[in-house]
Structure 1
């Protein structure tokens, strides 16, 4: 076994780690980055998350707007979309690898990492074993899909979100187990390409975290696109039947069966710590299996930190990037930045049209004791939406009636993933909502809907 010594060792090639590595190298540190698979250079977002799924979502939207697409045409366009997605991912994966591998202060090790002691990590590579010793270690291994204990879930026609990205044949009938954000994005993508999509959700409330008026609007729009939702429906067994699959369902009305050509399991994600041997380092995990960290991202071992999805924070690429900012500040700054500084973090769900939200929903604001004023605006009120021929959706704002501060904003409509960032930046300022209401925006644009929405608040 070869032994090498580093100042910093980063396990995993995700957003936070790949940004942290060159920064540490520029401070004069000798840095190693370990990645298990050459197909994951760049992390989850680039290879199996944000980039490929949103690329497919874009192509799906285009196909859904076209007329006269028969099964053969849709299959051909689906195949072309997969090819373009793969070309994009390959390009970005290569750029990410080269960004680190070409840096004189960084060594990229492709292999499986396992702690041997608090300062030592064994890396099994194709060329042999390396014992990497480091003064500082950063765990950046991300998360992976949860597979529930369902008989038959390992069948040939059952896929995780990662595997669905390489599904060559467009399924005529797609069943999705789980009505969360990942499940809804794939439902929207495949419905756009022409699949008959049914979402099977064990819970009794559709999109329980969202504002109830917004959630109902989302459900109505997606149902109009042909997506069917079955709530309070548990999948008890999956059975392969040649080229199709039969699912045994448990519902409040009793047992039922459902036929599909493909099944996507989208029941959540869990920390990707298999094989890391965290016990050897003394690193503790939470009850949910994520690496336990404090507000500075430090684990229970002072010289080991965990960044990105593996630490159980919000599972967004931009949160992983903010983890990097916190570490940069804690290690080489004034040590004032922490996870507690994160206020009004926006998010987007790339269904068609996209859903974006920041701050509190009306229900959350009321639970927190706020007296609120609200306003709603249909997307049809937007001239830009009519130009884009994307008039589905709804906007909603929640304002504190006593302070006039904007507490929350939700937009289910075209370009909402861009508009929400404007509102997020404004909410950080703490100014009264009237300032944003009276801000000048370009015309025609989706952003100017903010003027009309907030102008409706009494």
Structure 2
């Protein structure tokens, strides 16, 4: 077996891992990064997640044909994949190893390589960055169903399905619903939960559901899926609602039931790394695991599964190893998030429902998207903007923006919250015109009474 000793070993080519590898190499340190699939150079985001899905979403909104949009997506991903590989491989002190990593002990990792002998790597420092994978529910007939795919398989399609059935009405399911509706597919969403978007305020959730239904989506909430089987070229789902059975025929079935930390086959049982009950690697505020000089970065340690939080994990490691050690998970602050439906749904901080549950006093600000001049220009006036402000400190407690370009505007509020700015600074700020961001002037001028 080939043996290799290296100061830094990174397992997984995701956002945090690749950024750390580049930084270490630039410092002249020896670093090896292991990736089990050449398709995944650069991680989930650029290859099978954010970038390809947003490319398809944007081109669908532009009215492009699905086959053309799929080809553009492939070309974009291939370009980014190559760029990310060379970003690391071209560094003199960095090595990219294709293979599957498995711990033999805390600092010994065996790497299985297709067509080559296994390699044993001994590393002083190890960073686990293996990401997350789709949760596959136990459904009768699922493993035999030829039309059942995860989000990865769905984005590999070259022909749009006439009827797409999505299992799961979470954020992933809704993004794909909106995407394929824009290409002309019929979309049916099935979920065993009866409450739609349970983490959102009921007025926001109702708007989102109504708008998707008007675009053509059919929601079957509170339905149980008893099994799935193939019939000719189609697939059939057997579902029940309150004991009443029915069948739904689909060209493709998307499993959008969430993602979980990807630790399968990693051999963590051979280490002193501790695992949480839900399968994530336990870390402290510095991203240190229970094993000395082993860290976990990105989705694999649980928490919000976003590319930008993975990037911040890199910043925490950089701060702890080479900086002032001040950056930690504990001082990360509120994270903004966006769901790329049409229009986009974005959140930061508390929703009104959460504020009420926590018995917080707040001043509520509301603005209909129809009141925003840029909405009229964009011919997209659907939506509602809400913000909560602490009546004593005048700081922003949270916001929900369901409106066009909210994925851009929400970052302004996230930064204001981080800086503890009073909402009046946003209210009175001079924004360019016509823009969606200037809607914040009107939003924060439109207050209701203090809620107690």
Work out the CA distance in 2 between the residues paired with 1:4 and 1:191: 51
Q: TM-score, normalised by structure 1?
A: 0.96
Q: Is residue 2:140 matched to residue 1:151?
A: yes
- The 5 Å alignment of 1:272-291 reads 272-291=262-281
- Pick one of 242, 253, 264 that aligns with 1:263: 253
Work out the CA distance in 2 between the residues paired with 1:123 and 1:259: 43
- Cross-structure match for 2:174: 184
**Deviation >3 Å, runs of 4+:** none
Classify the secondary structure of the residue corresponding to 2:447. coil
**CA RMSD, aligned part only?**
1.1
- Cross-structure match for 2:117: 128
Q: Is residue 2:186 matched to residue 1:196?
A: yes
Q: CA deviation at 1:420?
A: 0.5
- Pick one of 351, 360, 370 that aligns with 2:350: 360
Work out the CA distance in 2 between the residues paired with 1:101 and 1:313: 30
User: Quick check: 139-148 or 278-287, which moved more?
Assistant: 278-287
Work out the CA distance in 2 between the residues paired with 1:301 and 1:360: 35
Q: TM-score, normalised by structure 2?
A: 0.97
Work out the CA distance in 1 between the residues paired with 2:273 and 2:240: 40
Q: Is residue 2:352 matched to residue 1:389?
A: no
- The 5 Å alignment of 1:338-353 reads 338-353=328-343
User: Quick check: 90-99 or 204-213, which moved more?
Assistant: 204-213
- Which structure 2 residue ranges, 5 or more long, are not aligned? none
- Cross-structure match for 2:69: 81
Q: CA deviation at 1:325?
A: 0.5
- Cross-structure match for 2:284: 294
- Which structure 1 residue ranges, 5 or more long, are not aligned? 64-73
Summarize deviations over 1:54-111 as a string: whole Å, max 9, x none. Answer: 0000011112xxxxxxxxxx7xx10110000000000000000000000011000000
Q: CA deviation at 1:179?
A: 0.5
- Cross-structure match for 2:416: 426
Classify the secondary structure of the residue corresponding to 2:13. coil
- Pick one of 87, 91, 110 that aligns with 2:79: 91
Q: CA deviation at 1:253?
A: 4.5
- Cross-structure match for 1:67: none
User: Quick check: 229-238 or 35-44, which moved more?
Assistant: 229-238
Work out the CA distance in 1 between the residues paired with 2:370 and 2:434: 13
- Cross-structure match for 2:55: 55
Work out the CA distance in 1 between the residues paired with 2:444 and 2:191: 35
Summarize deviations over 1:319-378 as a string: whole Å, max 9, x none. Answer: 000000001111112222110112121011111111111110011112223111112211
